[in-house]
Structure 1
Amino acid sequence: MIFVPSAKAGEELKGKLAEFGLDIPFYHSRLGTPFKRQELQKRFQGESLPAVDHIICTNAFGMGLDIPNVRLVIHWQQSASVEDLLQEFGRAGRDRKPSVSVIFHEGAGNSDTGRLKFMADKTV
């Protein structure tokens, strides 16, 4: 699972991965109809075909999911809050087998800090 902070970041990541031949679906709130979102979720859970074993998603996707065999959770950018981070990395290793959670962030002069400040101000 690759968590992204926004639909814009997810679309950009999906496009970049496609340039490398990786067609990874992106789940977010504006993904067509509720049926389309539910179908992608079922494919990721192995309940519908063709199955999907990689997914890009916003934080909302992980809420309430209990998929036991997620081995890797990637946080493409810093999560908006500690609570979001906990929800995201909590998707990995639910079957108590080894799993990894990785956080990527931009270097000095990055936009992560500005985005996080914007989200914090909006929340407060």
Structure 2
Amino acid sequence: IQMSNDRPNVYLAVRRIRHALTSYRDLADLLVSPNRPPGYKIPKFLVFFDSKREAIAAADALRERLPPEFKTKVVWFNSDNSPEFREQTTEDLAAGGYYGLMCTDAFGMGVDLADIELVIQWRCSCDLDTLWQRFGRAARDPRREGLAVLFAESKHFDSWKAEQAKRRKTRAHQGAEKAIEKE
């Protein structure tokens, strides 16, 4: 079965990464924020990374914020995992045994789960075709809705660029004033 890439049931969002990249706090805040109401259900999710190291570090960071009974519900998934592990993990995710996976493209190819509610791309590090392929993992069942989120570094936002330009201008002006004072 081939599906069109026109996916009106998948909503797109871009979020600015505000905390240190290696803390994965922005990601954790979206998934397991302590401000969630009691009984909040973590949506079934996939977070895509372009490096195995980042996927593993993010899984570890997210697990630290989960209650003890849920720490095993988030795992990483990449080409270093055995074929048996990858197959079992995919089955367990489909059956609800996991909340989500921190994965590389090793997960995306050939996997078609209908009920992924949330797909996240961590950082602007892939081309548009790859991004769209990853986002296409959300809500494969057209009767469901999904959310695809791109977490992007500050440097990709016009507001950040304007802030930086203003800071440079202020520093240049202050430097000129100091030079005049010395004369």
TM over 0.5: yes
Give distance in 2, aligned partners of 1:94 and 1:38. 19
Q: Does the Cα contact within 8 Å between 1:75 and 1:103 map onto a contact in 2?
A: yes
Give distance in 1, aligned partners of 2:114 and 2:87. 18
- 1:91-123: CA deviation from partner (whole Å, max 9, x where unpaired): 1111112211000022239xxxxxxxxxxxxxx
Letter in 1 for 2:65: F
Give distance in 2, aligned partners of 1:38 and 1:79. 27
Aligned positions of 1:1-124 closer than 5 A? 1-21=46-66, 23=71, 24-31=74-81, 33-46=82-95, 51-96=97-142, 97-108=144-155
Gaps spanning 5+ residues in structure 2: where?
A: 1-45, 157-183
Give distance in 2, aligned partners of 1:88 and 1:77. 13
- 1:58-100: CA deviation from partner (whole Å, max 9, x where unpaired): 1220111111111110111224211211110001111112211
The verdict on how the C-alpha distance between 1:101 and 1:37 changes in structure 2, with shifts beyond 3 A counting, is same
Letter in 2 for 1:25: V
Give distance in 1, aligned partners of 2:109 and 2:124. 18
Give me the TM-score of the superposition, normalised by structure 1. Answer: 0.76
Gaps spanning 5+ residues in structure 1: where?
A: 110-124
Q: Does the Cα contact within 8 Å between 1:3 and 1:74 map onto a contact in 2?
A: yes
Instruction: Give percent identity, aligned residues only.
Output: 30
Q: Secondary structure at the match of 1:25?
A: strand
Give distance in 2, aligned partners of 1:53 and 1:16. 15
Higher-strand-fraction structure: 2
| Corresponding position of 2:167 | none
Q: Does the Cα contact within 8 Å between 2:56 and 2:102 map onto a contact in 1?
A: no
| Corresponding position of 1:118 | none
User: How many residues matched?
Assistant: 105
Give distance in 2, aligned partners of 1:43 and 1:36. 10
User: Which entry has the higher C-alpha Rg, 1 or 2?
Assistant: 2
- Runs of 4+ residues over 6 Å off in structure 1: none
Give distance in 2, aligned partners of 1:108 and 1:66. 34
| Two-structure CA RMSD over aligned residues (Å) | 1.8
